[in-house]
């Protein structure tokens, strides 16, 4: 996924490289230091989404530092 930024608050992977705030939660706490990701397309049916407290479809990092 290249040099994508990830939100430290909600773990959402930002789809564009030039971003100043998270498109999911609006946080400006973004980082390039993350590992692994999961794509959640139906959060209401996903055990992983429930565990990660994700309510919106998208790409999320598994580990964020």
**Annotated binding residues for Zn(2+):** 7, 10, 22, 25
3-state helix vs strand vs coil in the chain, percent to 5: 15, 30, 55
**Annotated binding residues:** 7, 10, 22, 25
In contact, 58 and 13? CB cutoff 8 Å = yes
């Amino acid at each position: 996924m290249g040099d994508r930024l990830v939100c430290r608050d909600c773990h959402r992977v930002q789809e564009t490289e030039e971003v100043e705030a998270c498109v999911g939660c609006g946080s400006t706490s973004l980082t390039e230091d993350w590992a692994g990701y999961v794509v959640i397309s139906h959060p209401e049916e996903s055990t992983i989404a429930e565990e990660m407290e994700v309510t919106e479809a998208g790409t999320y990092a598994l580990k964020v530092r």
